[in-house]
Structure 1
Amino acid sequence: MKLWFWISISVLSIALTGCASPPLVATPLPEARVGVHSFAEMSYLPLSLNDAKTIRFDADTSPVGRFPDGLGVYAAFSIEQQPSVSVLRIRTWASNEWLPLATILKPYVMFLDESKRVISDVESFKGREGVSFFAGGYKEGYFPIPRTARYFIAYSASSESDRLVLSSANGKLWAIPNAYSGKIEVRQELLPQ
């Protein structure tokens, strides 16, 4: 009888442990992970006009830099000067379609000039929600590219920053915790004339 009691307690414990959800607040990135001390030290990938690049950030392996908001993971790009006004479109996806358990990488963007000096730092990601057939729901924001910008850095907001608000299928609003892991897509586009 005692054996069955302990077996049932063990099975119940294992079942309840499997129901535990991961913590929704990201652990701050350690200072020791900062790999560059200036924007000039970063590696920049080229981003052509109308070319979309998807970046999958990982809190454990992606490069970490120091930004005005605090430490964040980042991806740096070089862009060409355009004859007319262009914008940078950034999309980000929640980690889970069930929003009560979702986190999101909230992207910020910093534009740099030819000498890799900051000319614009946008720590605001207000945008609209959309749906991609293959990738699911996303949040999308547009940032005007300054005419003198030759580089930009897309980086994560700190875990303590204001949360993005997403709406579920039934219209309920959820404040989604910020994460250092996640997927974003960047694309440079011309403004329609």
Structure 2
Amino acid sequence: MKTHPLTAREQRAWEGYRRMQGLLASHLNRHLLSETGLSDADVVILDALLAAPDHRLRSLALRCEVQWEKSRLSHHLARMQQRGLVSREECPEDSRGAVVRLTDTGRAAVTAAAGYRVAAIRSYLLDLLTPEQVDTLGDISEAVLARLAREDPHRHAIAELARPDPGVRPHPGV
């Protein structure tokens, strides 16, 4: 790892990114929650299940797909299950594992929320950028994600297995 201090240019980029990421996530979450009753965290999980074969994933694959710690996912799924958005079932292939399934209620909720989420993403981010900046943002994201995947190849491999098709997949909710 490089140990020299950040230049003023690098510091500006880092601080801008850090502040933008936090405020953008907060704004998107508040907007989505007020319009749909779903948090952004709910939508992340529901989108992953909506895109999965048969709208179900093993808990481990879901955890890797959303990049959450085991306890965070477990607690959040319990709350979502109480609201009827998901169900948890025993894994037929492995009695130690669990399968998370999208319910009809969850599918209806994430489908209804999709338009609100897209409108907020456009309003708070995409509409402010030129097409070239959108491409650059995509390139930056891919470069960072590729580096992080190399740091934790096991987690990345499991997440890839959870996807129905390798490569880019459409997210019905966004």
Q: TM-score range by the shorter chain?
A: under 0.3
Give the number of the structure whose alpha-carbon radius of gyration is greater: 1
**In proportion to residue count, which structure has more strand?**
1
**In proportion to residue count, which structure has more helix?**
2
- The alignment's TM-score, normalised by the length of structure 1, stands at 0.20
